[in-house]
Amino acid sequence: MIRFDRVYKRYPNGREALSAISFDIAAGEMVFLTGRSGAGKSSVLRLITLLERPTRGLVNVLGQDTQRVGVSKVPAFRRQVGMVFQDHRLLAERSVFDNVALPLVVAHTPLRETDKRVRAALDQVGLLDRIQALPGELSVGEQQRIGIARAIAPRPALIVADEPTGNLDPQLSREILGLFCRLRDAGSTLVIASHDMALVNESGARQIHLDGGRVIS
């Protein structure tokens, strides 16, 4: 599903974020990227989601060498990847339905199918009853679950999450972890960047530990 082969990433300011990292993630696997701030976790996610290109090395995602994905093909590529963010990235002026429907709308999914998938995703995260609410009317935990619903609504083969429990208390973090485990059990591949080691260890999932832009273990 994902292959990094001796990948380097150097930013225009000269900072080398990743240095010859290599790993493989199989389909249906849930993997945690761990490490301190600045270890390179976000850079890995940015390379997976084509927000950045590697300076050197091979990044293969969903069977595609990301270096060969042209600029005009990037949106179509991103539609195959569900993304969850630490700060949720919800549109404050739009209802829960509109937020969750956004990736389906940009993919030109028919209206009836969009409605079906949004309801199914909200049902999965247990927030179907808040479908008409605005994000501001929800708790932080609920907002994060809406972010997850948005990521899973198009039924992507791959879900990446950047510190999805970073702003949540331990109880809510466990709820979100349970949600990810259910998605894995349903066949999704998940790559989650997190520095919450207690939660990561509790999950029992494989870890790729980064430090100074290198894979430590």
Partner 1 sequence: MIGWLSRHFQALLFAVGRLARAPVATLFTAVVIAIALALPAGFLLLTHSVRDVAGNATTVDLTAYFKREVPLESVQQLAAHLRQRNGIESVAVITADDALALMRKDSSLAEALGALPDNPLPHALSIHPAADASSSTSLSALRQYLTAWPEVELVQLDSDWVRRLDAILLLMQRITLGIGTLLGVGVLAVIGNTIRLEINGRRQEIEITQLVGGSAAFVRRPFLYTGALYGLLGSVLAAGIVHTAGALVAAPVDQLARSYGSQFALQPLGWQGLSLMLGVGALLGLSGAWLAAARHISRLQPRV
In whole angstroms, the minimum distance from the beta carbon of 73 to partner 1 comes to 10
Task: Count the neighbouring beta carbons within 10 Å of the beta carbon of residue 9.
Answer: 23
Q: What phi and psi, each to the nearest 5 degrees, are found at residue 111?
A: -55, -45
In whole angstroms, the minimum distance from the beta carbon of 167 to partner 1 comes to 15
102 binds partner 1 (CB under 8 A): yes
116 binds partner 1 (CB under 8 A): no
Among 35, 40, 103, 164, binds partner 1 (CB under 8 A): 103
- Extract the tokens encoding 55: 């300076």
Q: Which residue, 75 or 178, has its beta carbon nearer to partner 1?
A: 75
In whole angstroms, the minimum distance from the beta carbon of 67 to partner 1 comes to 18
Among 130, 145, 150, 184, binds partner 1 (CB under 8 A): 150
108 binds partner 1 (CB under 8 A): yes
40 binds partner 1 (CB under 8 A): no
Interface with partner 1 by CB under 8 A: which range of 29-37, 45-53, 117-125, 127-135? Answer: 45-53
In whole angstroms, the minimum distance from the beta carbon of 48 to partner 1 comes to 10
107 binds partner 1 (CB under 8 A): yes
